[in-house]
Structure 1
């Protein structure tokens, strides 16, 4: 059986897996999935005689930062 030759449009698409900024292309759905990994954590610690609570947001990746900037 002869393997079919890929069309020029398919070859072009494979060459363009990343945009000019070297960022992988994502669908809107995969981008939302990536943004779901940003969490707000509540941290509680006891130091000496006091107990302290604070919130900490996970550090976004460069792709997440660019997506968040676009929403502002």
Structure 2
């Protein structure tokens, strides 16, 4: 039952849209990267080099779908 409550909280908070501008300093980036989420929840990533682009894509996916990634990891390990 506690996992069901946790699932509900994660799904509810992930569905909320945020219009505020957030600036984060992420270790691993070489230059500045801009991630803009539109009203449909799609990330638009603007980077100055390919390394930062793919790093930001992975970061955005993990931020948005961390619970799903964790479930896949647990299924794979048994």
TM-score range, shorter chain: under 0.3
Of Structure 1 and Structure 2, which has the larger fraction of its residues in helix? 2
TM-score by length of 2: 0.26
TM-score normalised by structure 1 residue count = 0.27
Question: When you count strand as a share of all residues, which structure comes out higher?
Answer: 1
Q: Which has the larger radius of gyration?
A: 1
